[in-house]
Structure 1
Amino acid sequence: MKAPGIRTAIPQRRYKLGDFSIVVLGDIESDDGVDYRYVFATVQDGAQEPQFYVLSIRSPDAIGDFALRVLSPELDRELDVSGRWRDLDVFCDQAIALAQQVLSLGDEQPHRLL
């Protein structure tokens, strides 16, 4: 899995979801040529690096739209392209739902820390 190349970013939100810590980054400067709006990174307790990401990426094909992409060791897929993914609340709600589904955390409730 190729992780997002982030040079600098500002944490926008933090969550705890089961044994996972989540940080949502914004104001991102990348060194991989990708224009990230938000990065939702999930780290399992005891791990050093995130193993599950949900990304909001500016779409080069559609003015004002952002692609919603899921990235993990087993999965790299663009799920949707929409202007909705520019909104932090909408993005976080969808990213949490995806994390619950992909990481089998359906019984866990997210706890917002920041």
Structure 2
Amino acid sequence: MRTAKSMLLALAILSPLSAFAYTTDEVKATTVIKEHQTSVQKYAAIHNKPMPEIKEYTYGMKLDVAKVIRKSPDLQTCSVMPKLMTYEDSKGKLNTVQYQVLGGCRNSQ
């Protein structure tokens, strides 16, 4: 009985920590996307180009990349996170694709 109470207490203490880690990763991803879009918006304004909408990358999608404008930074997290890449195609049009990457987990060696 005492062991069960100890396990229940440990579970009650550790559960909020895992929820916090998930929320922190979600907040990081949202922040990175907002920063990327702000930077791309400035670039588009300077070069008199329309702001591109974000398109979800799908396997086999043909990309006409003439010049990479910006890639969102890698996050130091142990989960799959969204990443953005904005590029100009051969016609000079801005495009942004979102794809999923495994974060650069510091704990895995």
Q: TM-score range by the shorter chain?
A: under 0.3
- Which has the greater radius of gyration? 2
TM-score normalised by structure 1 residue count: 0.26
Give the structure with the higher percent helix: 2
Give the structure with the higher percent strand: 1
